[in-house]
Structure 1
Amino acid sequence: MRVFELAKRRKTVRQFLPDKPSLDAIMKALEAAKEAPSGMNAQPWRFVVIDDEWLKGKIRELCEEEEKKFYSKTKGDLMAWLNAKGFRPEKPFLSEAPYLILVFGNTKAPYWLQSTWIAVGYLLLALEELGLGTVTYTPPNPKPVEELLNAPRDYKLQVILPVGYPADPKPKYERKKLEEVVSFNGF
């Protein structure tokens, strides 16, 4: 049961080795992602691979500007959690990772949101199988990045996946026990 092993092993990675994986490896992971099921088989996803240093830096700059706005408005339990975990508006992984994979969804397609995120799940496991790490970074406001990349109006940025060989020593966050997340015949 290979998928189970990959899922148990996969963790969030925000630090990467400088070695650049082959483009073939990235394409192999995307080949798996495109096989995800989708509503009416619309396949509403679009994957944009970025390896240009200037463009990665510009994406980081735009995202950090939006993160600063987000952090200035955030309070309460969420802000306490962010502080406790050491999160800040700075997102160095956006320029340090060898690749960024931006995943867009076509909002005109039926069930576009669910379908796009299923493809992201496939992509995460494929990257893990290839020995590559990532974090599912969702910018607080994706509009500036959409504009930078001239995304068609109907395509919304869902996630940015910085991809490379993991160098993040942090362990995987603990998961809830199965009985905490599963019930039968009702909630």
Structure 2
Amino acid sequence: MRVLELAKRRKTVRKFSKDRPPIELVFKAIETAKEAPSGMNAQPWKFVVIDNPELKARIREVCEVEEEKFYERIKGELKEWLVENEFTPEKPFLTEAPYLVLVFGYTKAPYWLQSVWIAVGYFLLALEEVELGTVTYTPPNTRPIEELLQVPREWRLQVILPVGYPDDPKPKLKRKSIEEVVSFNKF
């Protein structure tokens, strides 16, 4: 079960090596992602690869502005969790990773949201197979990024995936047991 091995090994990566992986590895992962199933075979995804340092810096700047607004208004359990885990509005991985892969969904397609996220799952495992890391990051407000990149209105940013060789010492977080996530014939 190679997929299970990849899934068990895969972890979130927010720190990247300065070594730049060959772009072919990113395209291999996209090639895998595009094989995902989709409603009516609409394949409602678009992968935008960004390696231009100035554009990555602009994306980071826009995202951090939106993160600041988000952090000002959150409360309760989420705020406590973010503070406890030392999260801030700063997103250095957006400029430190050699590549950003932005995944957009075509909102006029049936089941577009589910289809796009299945493709993202394929992409994550494909990155793991070629020993690249990422974090699934979605800004609190995607519209400024869509405007920056002149994305047509019917397309919506789902996730920004910074991609590179991992240099993140944090271990993978513990997963729930199979008994906690499966039941038979009832919830």
**TM-score after normalising by structure 2:** 0.99
Cα separation, 2, equivalents of 1:51 and 1:90: 20
Runs of 4+ with >2 A deviation = none
Counterpart code for 1:152: P
Cα separation, 1, equivalents of 2:50 and 2:4: 30
Q: Partner of 1:124: helix, strand, or coil?
A: helix
Counterpart code for 1:179: E
Cα separation, 2, equivalents of 1:86 and 1:168: 15
Question: What CA RMSD, in Å, does the superposition of the two structures yield over aligned residues?
Answer: 0.4
Please list the CA deviations of residues 17-58 of structure 1 after superposition, one character each: whole Å capped at 9, or x if unmatched. 011111111100100000000000000000000000000000
Pairing of 1:73-88 with structure 2 (within 5 A): 73-88=73-88
Q: Is it true that 1:131 corresponds to 2:131 in the alignment?
A: yes
Who is 1:162 aligned against? 162
Who is 2:114 aligned against? 114
Q: State percent identity of aligned pairs.
A: 71
Who is 2:38 aligned against? 38
- How many aligned residue pairs are there? 187
Please list the CA deviations of residues 139-163 of structure 1 after superposition, one character each: whole Å capped at 9, or x if unmatched. 1000000001111110000000000
Residue segments in structure 2 that go unaligned for 5+ positions in a row:
none
Query: How big is the shift at 1:186?
Result: 1.5
Cα separation, 1, equivalents of 2:20 and 2:147: 27
Who is 1:67 aligned against? 67
Pairing of 1:45-60 with structure 2 (within 5 A): 45-60=45-60
Q: Is it true that 1:19 corresponds to 2:5 in the alignment?
A: no
Residue segments in structure 1 that go unaligned for 5+ positions in a row:
none
Q: Partner of 1:101: helix, strand, or coil?
A: strand
Q: Partner of 1:162: helix, strand, or coil?
A: strand
